Amino acid sequence: MADPLVPAGAEPPALSPRALRDAFGAFATGVTVVTAVRPDGEPVGVTANSFASVSLAPPLVLWSLANTSPSMAAFALGAPFAINILADGQRDLAMHFARSGKDKFDVDAAWRMNPEPPRLHGARARLDCRVHALHAGGDHTIIVGEVLAVARSTASPLLFADGKFGRYTLDAGAPAVNHWSGLHGEWI
């Protein structure tokens, strides 16, 4: 049977940077701003959609940061950081922290005075972490965090797919799925 992903008579798309970006973008994600404080006292904040949950016991998460990022110095082993999971009204905040080379913390002067990782008001959830492990990942570094504390709100999530922001729409009537406990087939 013909592969519906490949147009009839055409070669599969090459692994060009464009094709790779498009394929990665096919995976819809939430959006986070990861915050921390560099050893020189500068607060850092990076919009990141590479976040993923990893482990319940111990509680671990991961995300990846470009090796060229000026924020990298904040993420030494054991360093505290916060993963701010953005709510659907925080698209502008996501874009604010996705721009390099400007003072991102001008939006709230209080952040500069605080030695703790900045907390973004109005986030959907926050995970307070410390760096558990760092792994080489090509042009990025995979940062594994141990989760120390969590906080949640009832806000809807901001989503990102195909290079665009969007909102989450619940399927009416669909049951909640606890994928951490094993599914045993009963919900299908």
Stretch 62-91 residues interacting with ligand FMN (CB under 6 A): 63-66, 69-71
Strand partners, 46: 34
Residue from the set 50, 88, 134, 142 that interacts with ligand FMN by CB under 6 A: 50
Residue 31 interacts with ligand FMN (CB under 6 A): yes or no? yes
By CB under 6 A, the residues from 89 to 108 that bind ligand FMN are 94, 98-100
**Closer to ligand FMN at the Cβ: 107 or 183?**
107
Instruction: Specify the residue for token string 């916060």.
Output: 82
Helix (H, G, I), strand (E, B) or coil at 160: strand
d(CA 185, CA 70): 47
* Nearest distance in Å: CB 38, ligand FMN: 10
Positions in 151-180 near ligand FMN (CB under 6 A)? 160
Nearest to ligand FMN of 24, 187 (CB atom): 24
The nearer residue to ligand FMN, 99 or 184, going by C-beta atoms, is: 99
Question: Binding ligand FMN by CB under 6 A: which of 36, 37, 47, 111?
Answer: 47
Q: Does 35 bind ligand FMN (CB under 6 A)?
A: no
Q: Comparing C-alpha atoms, which of 140, 139, 114, 120 is closest to residue 51?
A: 140
| CA–CA distance, 96 with 169 (Å, rounded to integer) | 25
Minimum Å gap between C-beta 49 and ligand FMN is: 4
Compute the least distance from the CB of residue 47 to ligand FMN, in Å: 4
Residues 117-146 that bind ligand FMN (CB under 6 A): none
Distance from C-alpha of 36 to C-alpha of 48, rounded to nearest angstrom: 13
Alpha helices in the chain (DSSP H): 17-25, 91-96
Strands (E), 38-138: 43-48, 52-55, 60-66, 80-85, 125-137
Pairing label, strands 29-30, 32-37: unpaired
Contact set with ligand FMN (CB under 6 A):
31, 46-50, 63-66, 69-71, 94, 98-100, 160
